[in-house]
């Protein structure tokens, strides 16, 4: 197992994931578009690289987790991108949530140079990234999955091989469809409880033990109660994910009306200046719609 890893993308999720790999004893070569986001990791022993290509040249296993499909495409296929460092024996693993079709295309391009590829989007938010409890949904061949398992085990707990390249992204789309409706439901429940005069902490503790129990209620409702709208997962990234899911559904001849409605709610939240806030900020928009005090 190679101890030298390249890690590209040091945002809310990537920084914590990279930190865990350093703590596990791996030698990390890091790159991020905004260099200052890598300062803490460099202080822990990571080695800064000026381009994705430079980082990949120094490692045999390369992880990426960036923002949008255009960022994935640029990191892999752009100037000084990862494709320029691809060669037989290297494994590239994209943990961004992005278009399944893009991942298939990247896998094919890397295969032409003898390199392996896996798409492995994650779920579990900033807390899961910090604590190493992420769910990891992997699309690749059997051999590559086995090679990546030791690294995945540092980052997550629920690690599943779902099929060939693209399968991880399709699974993540299903995950985001569930989360979209759940987040809307939890937000409406909190607004309803507030208007009814219920104690929010007692409300969440009570319904969380019954059929309404879910990750969103356990992890994001307490943040809302505290007035904490910092991003575990940003509104604008969630809109991106919902848009990908709706596009994929359309290509398969599917109608997902609940998801389409939830996306419109979040687009309104973003238009009001909350695109960089956490998804739980939806509660504030619903309060305003009901004429309630935002606090």
- pLDDT tens digit string along 103-152? 999 999 999 999 999 999 999 988 999 999 999 999 999 999 999 999 99
Catalytic residue among 15, 99, 172, 284: 172
289 band by pLDDT with thresholds 50, 70 and 90: confident
- pLDDT tens digit string along 19-54? 999 999 999 999 999 999 999 999 999 999 999 999
Exposed/middle/buried for residue 253 (C-beta within 10 Å: 0-12, 13-18, 19+): exposed
CA distance linking residue 101 with residue 206, whole number of Å: 42
- pLDDT tens digit string along 153-186? 999 999 999 999 999 999 999 999 999 999 999 9
Where do the domains of the chain lie, and which CATH numbers do they carry?
4-164 (3.40.50.720), 170-289 (1.10.1040.10)
Expressed in angstroms, the distance from the first to the final Cα of the chain is 51
- pLDDT tens digit string along 48-101? 999 999 999 999 999 999 999 999 999 999 999 999 999 999 999 999 999 999
What is the model's pLDDT at position 1? 58
CA distance linking residue 220 with residue 170, whole number of Å: 24
- pLDDT tens digit string along 178-236? 999 999 999 999 999 999 999 999 999 999 999 999 999 999 999 999 999 998 889 99
- Pick left, alpha or beta for residue 166 (phi over 0 → left; psi -120 to 50 → alpha; otherwise beta): left
> Which pairing describes strands 134-139 and 156-163: parallel, antiparallel, or unpaired?
parallel
295 band by pLDDT with thresholds 50, 70 and 90: low
Cβ atoms 111, 117 nearer than 8 A: yes
pTM confidence score: 0.91
pLDDT surpassing 70 at residue 294: no
Q: Is 58 a catalytic residue?
A: no
CA distances from 210 to 78, 205, 206, 207 (A): 49, 9, 7, 5
CA 221 to chain centre: 20
- pLDDT tens digit string along 247-260? 999 999 999 999 99
Nearest-Å Rg of the Cα atoms of the chain is 20
CA distance linking residue 270 with residue 208, whole number of Å: 28
């Amino acid at each position: 197992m190679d101890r030298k890893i390249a890690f590209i993308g040091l945002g809310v999720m990537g920084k914590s994931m990279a930190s865990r790999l350093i703590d596990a004893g791996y030698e990390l070569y890091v790159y991020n578009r905004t260099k200052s986001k890598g300062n803490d990791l460099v202080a822990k022993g990571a080695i800064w690289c000026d381009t994705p290509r430079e980082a990949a040249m120094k490692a045999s296993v390369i992880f990426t987790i960036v923002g949008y499909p255009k960022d994935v495409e640029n990191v892999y296929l752009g100037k000084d991108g990862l494709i320029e460092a691809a060669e037989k024996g290297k494994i590239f693993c994209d943990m961004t949530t992005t278009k399944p079709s893009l991942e298939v295309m990247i896998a094919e391009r890397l295969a032409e140079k003898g390199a392996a590829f896996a798409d492995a989007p994650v779920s579990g938010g900033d807390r899961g990234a910090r604590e190493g409890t992420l769910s990891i949904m992997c699309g690749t061949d059997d051999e590559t999955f086995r090679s990546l398992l030791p690294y995945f085990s540092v980052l997550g707990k629920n690690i599943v091989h779902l099929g060939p390249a693209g399968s991880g992204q399709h699974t993540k789309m299903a995950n985001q469809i569930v989360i979209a409706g759940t987040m809307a439901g939890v937000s409406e429940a909190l607004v309803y409880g507030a208007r009814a005069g219920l104690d929010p902490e007692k409300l969440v503790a009570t319904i969380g033990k019954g059929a309404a129990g879910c990750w969103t209620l356990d992890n994001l409702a307490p943040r809302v109660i505290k007035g904490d709208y910092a991003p575990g997962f940003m509104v604008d990234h969630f809109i991106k994910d919902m848009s990908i899911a709706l596009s994929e559904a359309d290509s398969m001849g599917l109608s997902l009306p609940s998801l389409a409605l939830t996306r419109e709610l979040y687009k309104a939240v973003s238009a009001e200046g909350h695109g960089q806030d956490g998804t739980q900020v939806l509660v504030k928009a619903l309060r305003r719609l009901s004429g309630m005090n935002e606090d």
